[in-house]
Structure 1
Amino acid sequence: MAATIKHITKGAIVVMVLCLCSCTKYNYINGGTANGIHDCTMWEYFHTNSYDWDSTVVMIEHAGLKSLFDGTGEYKQITFFGLTSNSILRYMLENNYERVTDIPVGKCQDIIQKLVAPKRIMLNDVPRGNRIQSGGGIESAFVEYDGLVFDCIRGSLFLWTQRMAYNDIEDTGEIALYIASRNQDGTRNERVASTDIQTTNGVVHSLNYDFRFRNF
């Protein structure tokens, strides 16, 4: 019976990941504000969208970091580069975890704190920039151009924006926000899916559904 339940649980996670991926368009990139301004705390906002944030909420509670998001902690204003439920479920599959609470507390704390800056950062605060590999090989070092470096609660991030093309005309489309970890070498660039989700105690920039823990 225990083995059957285990297989059912893993099967359910697989189905959830597949459903989330199949229901998204362009990996959930819209290049703009998702749902605008919310007259509530970030923690309360997460509960208005269980589709994206239910596993995130569980991870935050499991890590003992709820006060960071409900406005009662040390930092009264934060920016969260939000990893969504789909990224968490993928990580669980890759590591044979059945529940979010099976992920070690230390790992949950580490990834969340690396994605939280203790101040408000809006899209317009981030200048144009780029991060490209200096050589042609996959082991080549990345070079940062312009942009900004922000210290997070743990580690730091390099942030930059680019204006995308529209109808094949350069620099006429939406402004895209990118982040990259400075905590280890060789990590890939991550494009933010939806920016400037404002709450009373901070800003959420929602990461793509294909965000991978190992890049941070």
Structure 2
Amino acid sequence: MKNLIFIFSLLLALTACEQDEYYIDGGKAVAEFDGDVLQYLESKPVQFDTIAQIVKLAGLESTFRNENFTFFAPNDTWIRDLIGTRISPLGDTIYLSLNGRLKDLNLEPVRKLSDIDSVIWRKYLQRHMFREAYKLKDYPQIDFNQKNMFPGQLFHSFDKSLFNIGVEYGEANGIKYLGYRQLTISYVPDASRPDDNWRTVRTSSTDIQPRNGIVHTLRNEEWFGFDANEFIQEVALSRNNTNSAN
């Protein structure tokens, strides 16, 4: 009986290893893409048309075409929610949007992406970018309930913001850590308190492989740049300064 349990557990482990190369919500897909990172985004206009535009507005087109890096890609919904209005799944909470805040300050709303300073776009887009190309298998395990044992790993993004990135190991047939693997990225707002107030987002797909890097796509669980209030304040200040100069 013990031998049967061991063999069954081994088969589960082998199956998990075969499947952890590339996921889209639990489904496997073709990972390789014959083009650069920007071309990949442009090839998926429904999800990433706005993100591709922001890459160009931020002056990062050359990086997305030539440098080797890892991109945790937000989808266009992140931008729409941030500029417009995000309503909770229950429909009972309306979260503050950029244009809502600008209206409160009697400032002109953002009508097109280029209304936002390119420096701001660059800063917050770079929070999604990390040097070198890392696949899911290259990140250590994280268990959010036992971070002392499985802590993930700290990384700095292109803009020097601090993040914890790790892989959650799910349960299979009552056996802990033998199930699916889920890549997570957590923004750490205060580097002096690296264990506090994480803003964690899980991936919807991993290990997409353009010619010059790796793309992991993110679920719509956070705001672009991981800090909506900071983004809104910077845009409001920029627009206020522009109005004052005029």
Q: Partner amino acid for 1:197?
A: I
Deviates more, 1:39-48 or 1:100-109: 100-109
CA distance in 2, matches of 1:55, 1:78: 20
Q: What is residue 55 of structure 1 aligned with on the other side?
A: 50
CA contact (8 A) 2:185 2:200 kept: yes
CA distance in 1, matches of 2:28, 2:163: 21
CA distance in 2, matches of 1:100, 1:50: 16
Write out per-residue CA displacement over residues 28-56 of structure 1, whole angstroms, 9 at most, x where no aligned residue: 96156654111211111111110111000
Counterpart mapping for 1:112-127 below 5 A: 112-127=125-140
Any unmatched runs of 5+ in structure 1?
Answer: 1-27, 134-141
Q: Counting helix residues as a fraction of each chain, which structure ranks higher?
A: 2
Q: CA deviation at 1:143?
A: 7.9
CA contact (8 A) 2:74 2:224 kept: no
For 1:55, what is the secondary structure of its paired residue? helix
Any unmatched runs of 5+ in structure 2?
Answer: 1-22, 85-96, 100-109, 191-195, 228-246
Q: CA deviation at 1:103?
A: 2.7
For 2:215, what is the secondary structure of its paired residue? strand
Q: CA deviation at 1:106?
A: 2.4
Select 1:148's aligned residue among 153, 161, 166.
Answer: 153
Q: What is residue 30 of structure 1 aligned with on the other side?
A: 25
Counterpart mapping for 1:35-114 below 5 A: 35-71=30-66, 76-93=67-84, 94-96=97-99, 97-114=110-127
Write out per-residue CA displacement over residues 5-39 of structure 1, whole angstroms, 9 at most, x where no aligned residue: xxxxxxxxxxxxxxxxxxxxxxx961566541112
For 1:114, what is the secondary structure of its paired residue? helix
For 1:146, what is the secondary structure of its paired residue? coil
CA distance in 2, matches of 1:143, 1:188: 18
Q: CA deviation at 1:167?
A: 6.5
For 2:52, what is the secondary structure of its paired residue? helix
Counterpart mapping for 1:173-192 below 5 A: 173-184=179-190, 186-192=197-203
TM-score, normalising length: structure 2: 0.64
Runs ≥4 in structure 1, deviation > 6 angstroms? none
Q: What is residue 163 of structure 2 aligned with on the other side?
A: 157
Q: Partner amino acid for 1:87?
A: W
Deviates more, 1:99-108 or 1:122-131: 99-108
Write out per-residue CA displacement over residues 59-99 of structure 1, whole angstroms, 9 at most, x where no aligned residue: 1111111111011xxxx310001111110111111112332
CA distance in 2, matches of 1:193, 1:146: 21
Q: Partner amino acid for 1:101?
A: S
RMSD across aligned C-alpha pairs, in angstroms? 2.6
Q: CA deviation at 1:110?
A: 1.2
Residues 125/33 of structure 1: CA separation in 2 closer, same or farther (3 Å cut): farther
CA distance in 1, matches of 2:187, 2:27: 22
For 1:121, what is the secondary structure of its paired residue? coil
1:194 matched to 2:205? The reply is: yes
